[in-house]
Structure 1
Amino acid sequence: MTTDARPDPRRIALFLLLMVLVGLNLRPALSSLAPLLVRIKADTGLSPLAIGALTTLPVLCLGIFAPLAPWLAKRTGPENTLALALGLLILGLMLRGAPPLPLLFGGTLLVGAAIGVAGTLLPALVKRELPGGADLMTGVYTMALCLGGALGAGLSIPLADAMGSWRWSLVSWGLLAAVALLAWVSLMPRAPRNLPAPPPGGSMRELLGQPLAWQVMLLMGTQSSLAYIVFGWLPTLLQSRGYSEAEAGWLMGASVMVQLISALGAPWLARFGRDQRPALLLVLGCVAGGLWLLLQADVQWRWPGVVLLGLGQGGSFSLALTLIVLRTANSRLAGKLSGLAQGGGYTLAAMGPLAVGVLLQLEVSMGTVTAVLLLIVAAAAAFALLAGRNRRLDLDQSGKLFTH
C-alpha cells in the first residue's frame, strides 16, 4: 500500500461496482412482496391486519437491527459484517418461501435484520472510501437501491406466473443475493493501512444529546414511512381503484424505476445551494403530488402520478442518506449517525405500513388514507427544514461532540 493520499481510481471503481451490486439486493426482498399480497392473502387466509403486520415486520427489523451494525463492525470489521448480512439475507429469502406459514414471517424478519445491518454500514464505508465525493457516491448507491426495488416490484408477478407459485417468486431473489455475497467476499476492499484513524469520542449518548442527530433521524423516519407504505400497500390501494394486480405491480415498479433519476440527481442538485432545504422541499412536494394523483385523481393521471411519486421518493431517500455523510466530520461519526438515523428512523417508519393496514381493516375511504399520507409528507417537510440546514457534527480537541 502506498503512502500517497490520493484515492486509487481502480479501488474506487471496484468499490463502486460492489456497492451497486450490494445495493441492488437491499430492496427486492421488500418490494417483491407487495404485488403478491392479494395471492398470499387468498392462499393463506391472512387478514388485512396480519398482512399489515407482514409488511411492517421487515421495516421494524430495519430499525431494531440497524444500531447493531456499528457494534458488529467494530468487532469484526465493516467488510466482514456486510458479508454476514448478505448471508443472513439469503437465508431469510429461502425461509420465507417455505410452506409453513410461520416461516413466511420468520424469513421476513431475517430479511429485515440483514437489510438493516447492511444498509447502515454502507454510508460509513462510502465516507471512508471517498470522503470528498461521498454525497454523489451516496446518490449512486441510492440509485442501485431504487433499481433493485423496481425490479422486485415489476418482476414479482411475472416470476410467480412463470414458476407457478408466489413462494418461488420470493425465493428466486436469493440468487441475486448469492452473486453479491460471492463478489463481496472475493473483492471487498479493506481499510487502507495508511488511512488515519478517526479521532476517538462521539459516543451514542453524546449523539443523542445533539438536536441535529434527532432531526436527521426524524426526517429519515418520516420519508421512509412513505416509501414502505408504497412498497407494502400501493399495489393493493391501486387494485381497490380497479387496476389489475399485474398493472398495479407495474405501476409501482415504474414509479420505483423513475426513482433512479432523482436518486442520482438530487445530491448533485443539492450542491447548488447553501444547504439542502430547497432540494428536500422540492422532492417532498413531488411525493405529495404523486400520491394525490394516483389515489384521488382520474385514472388518466396515473402516469404523471407515477413519475411525480418516483422523482419525489428517489430524491428524498437519496438526500436523507446524503445528510448522514454531510452532517458528520469523519467516517466513525457517519457510522454512528447512520445507526441512529436508520435505526430510529426505520422503527418510526414501520408504523406507516401498519397504520395503513389498520385503516384498511376499518374500511375507511380512500380519501382518508390519502389525507393520512399527506400529513406524513407535511411532517417530513417540517423535519427537512431543520435537518437540511448547513450544519455538521464534529469533535473538538478533547474528543467532545459538538455541532457547528
Structure 2
Amino acid sequence: MNDRISNASPALLLIAIFLISINLRPAVAAIGPLVSQILGDTGVNSTIIGFLTMIPVFLMGIGAIYVRQLRAALGERGGITLGALIIALSCATRLWLSTGAGLLVTAAGAGIGIAMVQSLMPGFAKRNFGASTGRVIGLYSTGIVAGASIAAGTAAGLASSLEWAGTLAAWSLPAVLAIVFWALAARNADSERAAPAPAAGTIPPQFWRSGRCWSLMLFFGVGTGAFMLVMAWIPPFYLEQGLDQGTAGLLLSVLTVIEAATALGVAAFIHHFPDRRGPLVFALIVTALGFGVLYSSPVEMSFLAMTLLGVGIGILFPLSIIVAIDHVDDPTTAGNFTSFVQGGGYILASFVPLLAGAVRDAMSDLSQVWLVMAAGSLLMIFLAVRYSPGSYKRFSAMLRSVSLDRGLRAAS
C-alpha cells in the first residue's frame, strides 16, 4: 500500500470508495423493472427507454476522455465529490421531472456525475493504494454492481408505495450519505490536481496511436455493453415472455447479486492471478453461455442464464479495468490511460442498449440481441489471450520510449 495514504485512514477510505461506487448505477439500473409503468405514464417507446440507458453511458465515455481537464480543474477528490453531488441532484429532480423529456434531462445529469467519478477514481486509487490497486478496483466494481443489484431488486416493491418517479428519486438519499462520508474520509488522502510537468525531453503519451489502446477499448466496450444491456432489458424481456413484474425484477436482482458477489471475489483473489488471461477467457466463455441460454431456453432455464451472466459479467467488468491499469506504472499516466480506454469503451457500450431498444420496437423481440452478444463474447477471447504480463511491460516501455523520442524531436 502506498505510504502517501498515511495521513488518511485506509479502512475509512475504502468504505468511502465503496459507498460512492454504490451510487454509480441506480440511475440506470432502476429503469428496467419500471419500464412498463414508464411506458404507460409517459407514452414514450422502447427506443426512448434505450436512450435513458445510452445517454448516461455515452456521457461516461465523454467524461473519461476529458479526465486530464477534469483533474486539472477540480482535482481528484474535488471532482469525485462534485460528480457524486450531481448524481444526487439528478436523481432527486426525477420526482418533479417525470415526463419523457424530463427523464432524458435527468439521465444526462446523472451521466455527467457518473462520468466525473468514474474518470477520476482509478487514478485516485492507484495513487493511494499502489500495489493493492487491483483489489481496491475489485471492491469499487463490487460497489457498482451491488448498487445496480439493490436498485433493480427494490424498484418494483418501492414503486408500489412511492410510484416510479419517487422510486427513482429515492436514490438521491444514499448519494448524499456517500458524499458526506467521502468528504470526511478522503480529506487527507493523496489527490493530484495539476499534472506534474513532464520530464525534460519528453511529451505526454498519445494513447490513440497504439493498437493496444484500441484493443483494450473494444474489450472494455463489449464487457460494459453486456453489463448495461442486461440492466436495461432483462425485465422487459421477461415481461414479454409472460412473467409478472415481480418475477422479472427478481431475475435481474438474482443476476446482479451474483455479479456483486463475483466482483467481490475478484477483489479478494485477483492478486493470485498476475496473469489475467485465464480469468478473462473463463469470464468470456461463461458470459457467452449465459446469453446462449437466454436465447435458447429463457424461461425454462432462467435462473441458469442469470447465474452464468452474473458470474461472467461479474468477472469481466472489474477485470477489464484492472487489466488496463496493469499496463502503466505511473499513477497519473495510469489514470489517463484507463480513462482513455474507458472513455471509448463506454461510448461503444452506450449504443448496445439503444440498439436493443430499436430492435425491440422493430421486431417485438430481443432474442437476436442475445445471440449477437454471445458471439461477440466469444470473439473477445482472441483479444484476451494477448494480454500477458510481458505485454504490459513492453507497452509501458513503448510509451516511455515514444514519449521521449517525440520530445527530443520536438526540441530539435
TM-score normalised according to structure 1 size? 0.90
Contact 2:288/2:375 (CA < 8 Å) preserved in 1? no
Is the contact between residue 59 and residue 347 of structure 1 (CA under 8 Å) also seen in structure 2? yes
390-399 or 228-237, larger mean C-alpha shift: 390-399
Q: Are 1:320 and 2:324 an aligned pair? A: no
- Once the two structures are superposed, residues 314-342 of structure 1 have per-residue CA deviations (whole angstroms, 9 ceiling, x without a partner) of 10001011113211111111111122111
The amino acid that maps onto 1:231 is M
CA shift, 1:41, in A, is 0.5
Q: After alignment, is 8-17 or 305-314 more displaced?
A: 8-17
Deviation at 1:390, TM superposition (A): 4.0
Look up the match of 1:225: 225
Secondary structure of 1:354's counterpart equals helix
More helix per residue: 2
State whether residues 216 and 341 of structure 2, in contact with CA within 8 Å, keep that contact through their aligned partners in structure 1: yes
Which of 30, 33, 47 is equivalent to 1:32? 30
Alignment of 1:240-389 (within 5 A): 240-266=240-266, 269-273=269-273, 275-297=275-297, 299-363=299-363, 365-387=365-387
CA distance 1:235–1:69, shift in 2 (3 Å): same
Q: Which residue of 2 aligns with 1:132?
A: 131
Deviates more, 1:262-271 or 1:279-288: 262-271
Report the residue type matching 2:241 in the other structure. Answer: R
What does residue range 78-117 of structure 1 map to in structure 2 within 5 Å?
78-97=76-95, 98-117=97-116
Shift of 1:191: 4.7
Give the deviation of 1:153 after TM superposition.
Answer: 0.5
| d(CA) in 1 for partners of 2:146, 2:298 | 28
Could you tell me how far apart the structure 2 residues matched to 1:315 and 1:199 are?
A: 37
Alpha-carbon deviations, 1:370-404, whole Å to 9, x = none?
222213213433332334554332554895399xx
Q: C-alpha distance in 2, partners of 1:80/1:401?
A: 35
**1:43-64 residue CA offsets vs partner (Å, 9 max, x unmatched):** 1111122222222111111112
86-95 or 291-300: bigger deviation: 291-300
Determine if contact 1:219/1:387 at 8 Å carries over to the other structure: no
Query: Among the aligned pairs, what percent are the same residue?
Result: 25
- Encode CA deviations 1:66-91: one digit per residue, 9 max, x unaligned: 22333111232110011110111112
- Secondary structure at the counterpart of residue 362 of structure 1: helix
Conserved? CA contact 1:223–1:380, under 8 Å: no
The yes-or-no answer on 1:400 pairing with 2:399 is no
- Answer whether contact 2:205 2:403 (CA < 8 A) is retained: no
Task: Supply the distance in 2 between the matched residues of 1:260 and 1:251 (Cα, whole angstroms).
Answer: 14
Kept after mapping to 2: 8 A contact 1:229/1:353: yes
- Letter of the 2:319 counterpart: L
Deviation, 1:247, is: 1.0
* Structure 1: gaps spanning 5 or more residues: none
Cα distance in 2 for residues equivalent to 1:246 and 1:290 = 22
Name the TM-score, length of structure 2 as normaliser.
0.89
Distance (Å, rounded) in 2 between the aligned partners of 1:5 and 1:172: 38
Corresponding residue number in structure 2 for 1:179: 177
> Aligned residue for 1:17?
15
Q: Which residue identity lines up with residue 340 of structure 2 in the other structure?
A: L
Q: How much does 1:5 deviate?
A: 4.1
Counterpart of 1:143 in structure 2 is 142
RMSD: 2.6
TM-fit CA distance, 1:233: 0.9
Post-superposition shift, 1:34? Answer: 1.0
Amino acid of the structure 1 residue aligned with 2:170: S
Return the alpha-carbon distance in structure 2 between the equivalents of residues 173 and 298 of structure 1: 30
- The 8 Å contact of residues 294 and 370 in structure 2, kept in 1 or not, is answered as no
Q: How many residues align?
A: 396
**What is the one-letter code of the residue matched to 1:187?**
A
Q: What secondary structure sits across from 1:275 in the alignment?
A: coil
Aligned to 1:153: 152
CA contact (8 A) 2:81 2:179 kept: yes
**In structure 2, C-alpha distance between the alignment counterparts of 1:313 and 1:228, rounded to whole Å:** 10
- Give the aligned residue type for 1:124: G
What SS does structure 2 have at the residue aligned with 1:127? Answer: helix
1:228-282 alpha-carbon deviations (Å, 9 max, x no partner): 1111111111211121111111111111111122212235555445521111110
Preserved contact between residue 283 and residue 315 of structure 2 (Cα < 8 Å): yes
In 1, Cα distance between equivalents of 2:347 and 2:61 = 4
CA distance 1:267–1:14, change in 2 (3 Å): closer
Q: For residue 95 of structure 1, report the CA deviation from its aligned partner.
A: 2.6
CA contact (8 A) 2:24 2:114 kept: yes
Contact 1:95 1:106 in 2 (8 A): no
The amino acid that maps onto 1:121 is L
- Give, in angstroms, the shift of residue 167 of structure 1: 0.3
Asked whether the 8 Å contact 1:95–1:104 carries over to 2, the reply is: no
* Contact 2:47–2:361 (Cα < 8 Å) also in 1: yes
Q: 2:382 is matched by which residue type in structure 1?
A: A
